[in-house]
Amino acid sequence: MRYGPMWSDKTSWLIKQFGKVADTLAFKPDIDTRYTRKPVLRTHDGKSVPAVMVPIDQPEKIFEAVKRKRGVIKRVLIDETNFFSGGLVKVVRNLIGMGIDVYTAGLILDTDLQDFGPTRKLTRMADEVVESFARCDFMFLTGRCGRRARFNYFKAKKDTQIVVGADELYGVACEDHYQALHFKTGSQKQWWSRIKKLVGANHQKSDWSWFRRLKLPSKKRRPLKFSFDRWPRIEVVADSMRVGKTTAARALGIELKKLGLPVRVSLEDWSNNPYLEKSYLDSSEWILLSQEWFAKKKFEQIKRGEKEAIFIQDVSPEMDFAYALTNVLMGRMSKEHFKDYFKFYSSHKWENLPAPDVLVYLTISDEALVKRALESVRDLEKIDPSYFLLMRAVNRTWLADSDHMTVVNIDTDDLDFSKEGPARKALAGQVLKKLHDLGWKWDNSFTAEMKRQDWFAMVAI
């Protein structure tokens, strides 16, 4: 038995088995017509051997076909086991009972990481099980990831488990980039489970029930509707501190200005926080005061916003909330002080403020995050790698429930937005493309008087 994601050479492995024994019969589901409609096992690179097409809900036809050639067939190959119904397990068991060697290949998980067809049950029957891997096709701004991939992801909206397609619909990802692609559609429950593992014994069981009931501010702000009567709003957030949010916000503003666009960048302004330095002494009260200052400041910045230019906000209020939550989970802020912070945060009328048109979310791997944190530590900071890793999980938790925001995911492991070059241009290009998709695009009905529309459309198409 061989299982793994798409493009992990499972079919190639079956084809190799075909040539080793003369009396071999191969089978495949009749809905698998991705590379050919002919009755063959065919790989994406064109290799093929003859095969019998079988309806996915009638796997017993495999047994019937072999039974008709009883005494002749010595080996059976079955491709794409994930598409067949559960009856395939009985078919394979009966074939083995006839003394036939059976080789099967398929996906064990679907794009939502749920068991796919009878593949897992077949692994339990096999004498030998081999997991295959592909290469992650997640695209950085500067190139492809290429690390070992074991998960498939779907590139569009999928309403059923079985959707036949090739690379126009599916991709393959390593664990980090599968998470990066799915945290927005994942559940807060899954992220809370990860948080609990990261935190360990910092909290009593009773605390966890309280945390799980905590209503994160993911949807407090009202979503904006597209309009040519205003400029778009952009916010830049990240997995954690030290990922490059402020640098990316500045770089994005510079690149958009180069295109002739009016831009206003609103920075986090952490250096003016009068409580920040003392908060690094692990004083719960000073952390509370520091976090309240950030919440108030963020409310004022977003409320002020900008009507006559593209508005870019460095760090969203939701991410500020994530900082506070990380501190209480780490035990740096007391639960009582966090409750005070929660009341203070909630007292602001966030529902009167707009959510961004585009949220730029910067992701980073464990190794790169810890390395960058150690390299860029400020004089007043103490670095605890677990603090940064926990903060990433907390940020992805609130983001998992923010389906009213349009997100641009950018992996920053190998990027440096502080220098002019391809990374900056690619960042601006991705944001412009997303804004173009939202509606800021060329329209033949524009008139000469519509300056804002024309100006933006020229760089968005």
Residues 125 and 143 in one domain: no
Give residue-wise pLDDT tens across range 275-327.
Answer: 998 888 879 999 999 999 999 999 999 999 988 899 999 999 999 999 999 99
We report the CATH number of the domain holding residue 20 as: 3.40.50.300
Range of the domain at 163: 139-174
Verify that 153 and 112 share a domain, yes or no: no
Domain identity same for 160 and 53: no
Question: pLDDT at position 210, please?
Answer: 75
* Residue pointed to by tokens 């059923």: 160
Residues 152 and 62 both lie in one domain: no
Residue 118 lies inside a defined structural domain of this protein: yes
Per-residue pLDDT tens over the stretch 200-219: 655 555 577 777 777 788 88
Question: Which residue has better confidence, 410 or 366?
Answer: 410
Select the more confidently predicted residue: 110 or 457: 110
Comparing C-alpha atoms, which of 434, 418, 409, 419 is closest to residue 145? 409
Inside any domain, residue 412: yes
Confidence of residue 447 (pLDDT cuts 50, 70, 90): very low
In a domain, 421, yes or no: yes
> At residue 196, does pLDDT exceed 90?
no
- Just list the catalytic residues: 80
What percentage of the chain reaches a pLDDT higher than 70? 85
CA–CA separation, 340 vs 164, rounded Å?
A: 52
The 8-class DSSP code of residue 375 comes to H
Q: Which of 66-70, 190-194, 222-226, 270-274 bottoms out in mean pLDDT, i.e. has the lowest?
A: 190-194
The DSSP code for 309 is: S
Q: What pLDDT is recorded for position 82?
A: 95
Contact status, residue 21 vs residue 75, Cβ threshold 8 Å: yes
Q: Alpha-carbon dihedral of residues 58, 155, 8, 10, nearest 10 degrees?
A: 10
Residue with tokens 């937005």: 417
Tell me if 461 is assigned to some domain: no
Give per-residue pLDDT as tens, 35-73: 888 898 988 777 889 999 999 999 999 999 999 988 889
Same structural domain for residues 160 and 220? Answer: no
What dihedral do alpha carbons 46, 52, 54, 59 form, nearest 10°? -120
| 4-19: average pLDDT | 91
- pLDDT at residue number 99: 92
- Residue 119 and residue 189 in one domain: no
Task: Give percent of the chain above pLDDT 90.
Answer: 47
Which secondary-structure segment (H or E) carries 411? strand 407-411
Q: What's the helix, strand, coil split of the chain in %, to 5?
A: 45, 15, 40
288 and 153 assigned to the same domain = no
Number of separate domains in the chain: 3
Same domain for 367 and 303: yes
Q: In degrees, to the nearest 5, what angle opens at C-alpha 138 toward C-alphas 132 and 144?
A: 100
Amino acid letter for position 204: Q
Same domain, 229 and 276: yes
Residues 407 and 286 in one domain: yes
> Closest Cα partner for 382 from 391, 390, 374?
374
CA–CA separation, 238 vs 223, rounded Å? Answer: 20
Give the model's pLDDT for residue 20: 72
How far, in Å, CA of 395 to CA of 388, rounded? Answer: 11
Report if residue 104 sits inside a domain: yes
- State the average pLDDT over residues 392-403: 83
Domain final residue pick, 147, 174, 201: 174
Measure the CA–CA gap between 353 and 223, rounded to whole angstroms: 9
pLDDT confidence of residue 349: 94
189 and 127 together in one domain:
no
d(CA 407, CA 239): 13
If you write DSSP's letter for every residue of 84-121 in order, what string do you get?
A: S-TTHHHHHHHHHHTT-EEEEEE-SB-TTS-B-TTHHH
> 291 and 340 in contact (C-beta within 8 Å)?
no
- Same domain, yes or no: 95 and 143: no
- Whether 154 is covered by a domain: the verdict is yes
Measured at the CA of 192, the angle between CA 403 and CA 358, to 5 degrees, comes to: 25
The model's pTM is 0.64
Say if 205 falls within a structural domain. Answer: yes
DSSP secondary structure letters along 129-160: -EE--EE--PEETTEE---EE-EEEESS--SS
Within a domain: residue 429? yes
